[in-house]
Amino acid sequence: MPEATSNPAARRLARRTRGFDARVAHAEALLREAAEDHAGRIVQVTSLGVEGMVLTDMVARLRLPVVVATIDTGALHAETLALIDRVRVRYGIEVEVFRPQAQAVLQFVGRHGAQAMRTSVELRRACCALRKLEPMQRLLAGRSAWVSGLRREQGETRSLVPFFALQDDGREKFCPLADWSEADVWEYVRRHDPPTNPLHDHGYPSIGCAPCTRAVSAGEDARAGRWWWEHGEVKECGLHLRPAAVPA
Ligand code: SF4
């Protein structure tokens, strides 16, 4: 039972995290069940954002046999990359790191330039396909399930995120934080203190590749800082849309 308080900020937080313990219990139960059902074939795919760190903390705390993996696109902030070591030091867990094919990236940059993603949606998606989707296919190879930190509150494209779903490729995808609010996420951080990206404290609620992420202003959508120059497009890299074909 939350303690009564006369502090207005604490009162507001208590309102926004009402039901928090039940949501944590549900997320943990779902993770446990997923780990049992897919023993040895399940991976948590983290972009090393705060939701990913919450899930990694649960995996470590509950000692679940879930591999933790990330994609180093070659364009991440140093602060993001540093989290790979911080996870190892804190939990004794090795984060598996998948990288794009160096030759394919060199060819793409040579042909279209280092800022190609800013010139058209097609080139931005092609860059995401090379740097994210192709490594993701290797990351998922041999796995029957994956865990993601998607939350419904993160924007229109995520508003219907289910707790679990069977994908077209036959894999099961679990989103234990689907019903969590941003306040829930930070309440979890306050209680369990997982490592987090210092960029979150500088106006970056959602952190992707450095060239495609900016800080947001007060009142802006959490994902407003991702591909902010695009308008009216689905602002997703494709990892969460559906298993996608990757250009050769
Ligand atoms: S987020 Fe930007 S830099 Fe990263 S893969 Fe997509 S287009 Fe390329």
**What digits encode the pLDDT tens for the residues 165-214?**
999 999 999 999 999 999 999 999 999 999 999 999 999 988 999 999 99
DSSP letters, 111-168, are HH-TTGGGT-HHHHHHHHIIIIIHHHHHHHTT-SEEE----GGG-GGGTT--SEEE-T
Verify whether residue 128 is a known catalytic residue.
no
**Which of the four pLDDT bands, split at 50, 70 and 90, describes residue 30?**
very high
Which protein residue's CA is at the shortest distance from atom 4 of ligand 1? 209
Mean pLDDT of the chain: 90
Distance (Å, rounded) from C-alpha 54 to C-alpha 153?
Answer: 16
User: Given a cut of 60, is residue 246 above it in pLDDT?
Assistant: no
This prediction has a pTM of 0.89
Distance (Å, rounded) from C-alpha 135 to C-alpha 97?
Answer: 9
Identify which of 55, 57, 22 has the alpha carbon closest to the alpha carbon of residue 176.
Answer: 55
**Residue 239 Cβ < 6 Å to ligand 1:** no
- C-alpha 105 to ligand 1 mean position (Å): 11
- C-alpha 124 to ligand 1 mean position (Å): 6
Q: How many residues does the chain have?
A: 248
Please give the angle made by the CA atoms of 73, 74 and 78, to the nearest 5 degrees: 105
Distance (Å, rounded) from C-alpha 155 to C-alpha 126?
Answer: 23
Distance (Å, rounded) from C-alpha 36 to C-alpha 136?
Answer: 23
Task: Name the CATH superfamily, with its identifier, for domain 8-99+142-201.
Answer: HUPs (3.40.50.620)
